[in-house]
Chains A and B, each alone.
Chain A
Amino acid sequence: MKTYLVQRLGIGLLTLVGMSIVIFALLRFAPGDIVDILFSTGGYVRPEERIAIMKELGIDKPYTVQYAEWMGQLLRGELGMSYNYGVPAWEVIRPKIPVTLELAVLATIVAVLLGVPTGVISAVRQDTTLDYVLRVVSLAGLSMPSFWLGMVIILGMVAWLGWIPPITYVSPAENFHMHALQFALPALAVGYRSSALITRFTRSALLEVLREDYIRTAWAKGQSGRIVIWSHALKNAMLPVITVIGIEFAFLIGGLIVTERVFNLPGVANYLVEAILARDYPIVQNLVMFIAVVVILSNLAVDLLYGFLDPRVRYGD
């Protein structure tokens, strides 16, 4: 088990290094001169000004040197200076992380609360009208563009209620009621989408398990259907479901990017787009690495949990 963990962490680290190179290179291949873009609001950067700016931002050095500097900074726990704001990147990113984290957690909770029961009902009542209806509704969630759902919600609210959730971040300490209102709708919008995947997996995993011999045996033995389901089937079906929940949590961020933007939440996902467009490399690089770390860690956590819950799975073989 220990060797497995070490192995996975090692591979994870290797992956992160590889990813850092890919991101670094991709960003620098972007078309357009970065100085022109950073200072596009000034209109025109004269040659003398350009030289001074490049020196100040440290982008006049060769790419290999810049990459080494970035790696060095990461090892020291620093994230460099934001090109756009001229303050430490961490200072810009830090207040935004809790917002995204909270939204991700809330959305996952919504997804599980919506998805698991729906999947169970759907599996138990397989191929009935209810099953079809539930599957169609959940699939609709998977098919809708998340930004569209958000837009429709906001525009619908302002048209019918003349009210929209707060547009500046309200912390729970300030006003819990407003905070809840602010996060409820985006969490629902993102959660609905994730719930669809969870519904599908719960349904198929439960169906799979329900076909297993030991279940049939239990039925044949005359045990009540419901007990059979709840005590045997569900326990075993939960494993792949937990996998999906774990993976979905990490991949939630795709939906968060557009949802945060539409609901004007000041999270890192929303900010990522701005930073990419503004070519604020220190911020983009570090944010993307942060997302990668979250993805790798949550994959690892899911695998470990899987191994912990299912003794049939062995590691290190």
Chain B
Amino acid sequence: MKRIRFVSAMMALAGAGLLLCPGPAAAQTPKSGGSLNIMLREDLSQGFAIHETSTISTVWPAMPCLSNLVIFDPAKPTESAETIVGELAEKWSWQDHYRNLVFFLRKDVKWHDGKPFTSKDVKFTFDMLREAPDAPGKLRINPRKDWYSNIEAVEAAEPYTVVFRLKRPQPSLLLMLASGYSPVYAAHVNPAVYRTGCIGTGPFKLKEWRKGEFADYVKNPDYFVKGRPYLDALRYIVIKERGTRIAALQSGQLDVSFPGETTKTAAEQLKKAVPQLVVTPVGQMVNDNIILNTKKPPFDNPKVRLAVSYAIDRRALIQAVHQGGAVPGAAMAPKPYGVWGLMGNTLAALPGYGKPEDMKAKARKLLAEAGITPQKPLQVEMSTRAIPIYVDMASFVINELKQVGIEASLKQIETSQWHATATRGEYQIGANLTGIGVDDPDGNFYENYACGSPRNYSHFCSEELMKMVDRQSQEIDPKKRLEMVAAIQKKIEDEASRPMLDWRLDYFTHWPHVHGLVAHHNIYNFGRMQDVWRDK
């Protein structure tokens, strides 16, 4: 039974990989005109202020309005340093062994209100993000401050050249700048304006945001890429009720689904009802994990934590909770969804990935060493968000833990209070989800594992681990860096402060008349919409 599950999981991986091999480019010529109705799961939070939120609900509908310095090639699903292309920057180059990053900016860009784009805007944006003491712009909240903490200064001496001076070498900075999370704000606009409207340089201009209903865009006639965008208009429609969302997509009232929204089973249903729908399985760059409060007993004991990791059968969880719509992986996403993840035998050797009976036996042994036996079980409270998929995940884990002698009761926390509760450490063990804005070790490790980081929900501080992370951050040789990152992932799973459960897949769905929209293995980075066209 287990072997069948393993084989089918591997086949799913292979199948997904085949589907995603870059095939021949579409033979059709793009047509101009028309509009698209695009799904939104909930209304935009904080409007179009991407820099003040960490949710796909803002990034997805706000990306058409804004532009980055650089971005991941919209046409390539797997993102890496090799797929970075310029947007506001025509050329760029690293200097002084990845210590300075120089951008040569386009000269023909205008903001949506007509003012010209210059290096001043770049300096304004990134001084604001790194919270430079003399920065004129200020954000109300700054969730990704850590991404820019290595920037010493941003120099904009000439109108079309910008230099990022770093405190130490960091090749990852370029990748973080390519994420949908890193657009450029206008220097002549108060950052607060982005919470209710949008002045950007992107392919579409915001026409109207009717709160709670939809956001309407029209084509930007002065867009700096000639001939783009193809579409005349976009409408992002808010539908809160899941059944209604799916029905709207199925009946054609929506042309495009929401990234991360369509599960495997839902996609199967949609395909059955409307066979011509285009379904593309992609990785979301979102993982499920277990957070353990390492500051308080019982999870301050590494043996108990490791036992938890051993007890959970990852493949069974993927089948039970996601119906196969997820893949196993460690702290970085596995191929072909990411570039850095552990795979094959290395992954299989980690706790929780081997034969379930062996793993559970190991878990029981570890617990026995900590004084916990089936006669004297450990009572804990598992917290999770009050959303069905989390509850399902937590219920499954509770079932697994029961079999090794840990009795967990379920406590639901309202979604809006989840992060705060976890950051404050008001939990024992929790079922969590983490979205990673860019497939990069710097973008992941500092935020989620650094001592004192608010997103380090397990409150686990390992000096040794952070030293390893700092070393790989400055490593210029890609092969050496890959090995370092692999070692870090192994160490993280061995310390078991935040056992990884799986990496989610999205069965991104759209109608066949939608062309040029290539889903990436990262929900946050493919929403620009400039190459999208329709033919009906």
Contacts and interface: CB of A to CB of B under 8 A. Distances in A.
Tell me if chains A and B make direct contact, with any CB pair below 8 A: yes
Interface of A: 31-33, 36-46, 49, 52-53, 56, 84-87, 92, 95-96, 151, 154-155, 157-159, 162-164, 166-169, 261-264, 266, 270-271, 274, 277-279
A52 B248 contact: no
Contacts of A155: 243, 247
B119 interface: no
B416 A279 contact: yes
Given A45-B141, A95-B210, A262-B241, 17 more contacts: A32-B414, A40-B419, A43-B54, A43-B143, A44-B143, A44-B420, A85-B196, A86-B196, A92-B212, A151-B243, A158-B250, A158-B273, A168-B213, A262-B243, A264-B239, A264-B248, A270-B212
B251 A158 contact: yes
Can you list the 6 inter-chain pairs with the closest CB atoms, starting with the nearest?
A36-B420, A44-B454, A158-B247, A41-B45, A40-B416, A37-B416
Interface residues of B, number: 47
B433 interface: no
B499 to A, nearest CB: 21
8 contacts: A42-B143, A84-B45, A85-B196, A85-B211, A158-B250, A162-B273, A168-B237, A261-B241
B244 A262 contact: yes
Interface of B: 43, 45-47, 52-55, 57-58, 140-143, 192, 195-196, 210-214, 235, 237, 239-241, 243-244, 247-248, 250-251, 253-254, 273-274, 414-420, 423, 454-455
Of B45, B52, B211, B214, chain A has the most CB atoms within 10 Å of the CB of B211
A92 B57 CA distance: 19
A155 B246 CA distance: 9
B213 A41 contact: no
Contacts of B53: 41-42
A86 B195 contact: yes
A42 B244 contact: no
A166 B211 contact: no
Contacts of B251: 158, 162-164
Contacts of A31: 417
Contacts of A96: 212
B265 to A, nearest CB: 15
A88 B53 CA distance: 22
B455 A44 contact: yes
A263 B244 contact: yes
Given A49-B142, A52-B140, A44 B419 contact: yes
B147 to A, nearest CB: 13
A159 B273 contact: yes
A41 B455 contact: no
A300 B414 CA distance: 39
Contact of B416 (A32, A52, A262, A271): A32
A43 B454 contact: yes
B211 A92 contact: yes
Contact of B417 (A32, A56, A167): A32
A169 B216 CA distance: 14
A164 B46 contact: no
A74 B473 CA distance: 56
Contacts of B248: 164, 167, 264
A248 to B, nearest CB: 25
A164 B55 CA distance: 29
Nearest to A263: B244
Given A40-B418, A44-B420, A86-B195, A162 B243 contact: no
Contact of A44 (B239, B254, B273, B423): B423
Given A164-B248, A169-B213, A274 B240 contact: yes
Instruction: Give the residue among B235, B244, B248, B454 with the most A Cβ atoms within 10 A.
Output: B244
Nearest to A32: B417
Contacts of A154: 243-244, 247
Nearest to A163: B251
A154 B247 CA distance: 7
A223 to B, nearest CB: 55
Contacts of A41: 45-46, 53-55, 57-58
A309 to B, nearest CB: 41
Interface centre among A87, A167, A169 (most CB of B within 10 A): A167
Contact of B196 (A87, A158, A271): A87
A270 B241 CA distance: 11
A171 B457 CA distance: 47
Nearest to A50: B141
Nearest to A261: B241
Contacts of A32: 414, 416-417, 420
Contacts of B274: 162
A37 B417 contact: yes
A43 B418 CA distance: 9
B455 A167 contact: no
B245 to A, nearest CB: 9
Nearest to A277: B416
Contacts of B414: 32, 37, 277
A284 to B, nearest CB: 14
B140 A53 contact: yes
B420 A167 contact: no
A42 B54 contact: yes
A162 B275 CA distance: 13
Contacts of A86: 47, 192, 195-196
Nearest to A169: B213
Contacts of B52: 42
Nearest to A155: B243
Given A158-B250, A167-B244, A264-B240, A274 B454 contact: no
